Amino acid sequence: MEPGGLEWLLVPMQQLVSWGAAGAMMFGGVVPYIPQYRDIRRTQNAEGFSTYVCLVLLVANILRILFWFGRRFESPLLWQSIIMIITMLLMLKLCTEVRVSNELNVKRRSFAAADSKDEEIKAPPKRSYLDFDLNYFWHWSKFTDYVQCVLTFTGVTGYITYLWLDSSLFVETLGFLAVFTEAMLGVPQLYRNYQNRSTEGMSIKMVLMWTSGDTFKTVYFILNQAPFQFSICGLLQVFVDIAILLQVYLYSHYPQKPVSHTAHSASTKAL
């Protein structure tokens, strides 16, 4: 009776642990951005957060969803990608609104051609359909421009995936690109911190949550025998997180030469 009773207790507990792990995978990835989102709303200053983080995660999760059509992996990982895409769009919307409200330069930068109601009244009309000035890529003035870019990328990559879905080499390469891109998540923030010689404006809580979340995620990949690309790139992501934490220590204990206001503005435009 005791073994049977013990089994009766362990089975539901294992099920609860499994559900908890799946829930953590689906929603855990967005938790680090909650303190950063709140900080930006409170201070009305988005300069400490690189919107290229949003670009990296949008590309990575769109590719991961496309990879799912070629090689079905666990549903929690699929839902994680969907939830992350929604979260990154919300972050982009807030950052764009805050940045534009603080900018003195009212010249509009857009992904697509501006219409006749463009606020850029004193400037000549746009000369082409796409306003692809690389110096201002991913630094547009309206949230709709980011949405247009994301939809264009999704449409193009989705069509290519549809054509090559029967190729195992293409599918495996797509999976590697998806997780490798996500593994590079912290690199824009790492570079921005290096440029500014400071981690001011960056949420330390966000990076700590990145590190703990990526560690949990990598262990989850390994234990659940996810595609090997997931485990390798998960480890790489943890190393990048640790490098950012080292920057926090370095710049707080050994302050670097502060950048000028002009240089700071330029770095903001570049990123």
Listed by start position, the domains of the chain span 11-104+137-253
**Count of CB atoms within 10 A of residue 252's CB?**
12
For residue 13, name the pLDDT band (cuts at 50, 70, 90).
low
- Local structure of 112: helix, strand or coil: strand
**Count of CB atoms within 10 A of residue 111's CB?**
21
Cβ proximity of 166 and 69 under 8 Å: no
Give the residue from 214, 212, 204 showing the smallest Cα distance to 245. Answer: 204
Cβ proximity of 115 and 248 under 8 Å: no
Position 26 pLDDT exceeds 70: yes
**Per the structure block, which two tokens stand in for 103?**
């900018």
Higher local confidence (pLDDT), 48 or 241: 241
pLDDT digits (tens, 9 = 90+) for 191-238: 888 888 888 777 777 788 878 888 887 887 787 777 777 788 888 888
Phi, psi values for residue 99, rounded to 5°: -65, -45
pLDDT mean across residues, the chain: 77
For residue 11, name the pLDDT band (cuts at 50, 70, 90).
low
Distance CA 109, CA 131 (A): 7
Q: For 99, how many CA atoms within 13 A lie in the half-sphere containing its CB?
A: 25
Distance CA 214, CA 207 (A): 10
pLDDT of residue 90: 95
- Local structure of 130: helix, strand or coil: strand
Distance CA 208, CA 241 (A): 8
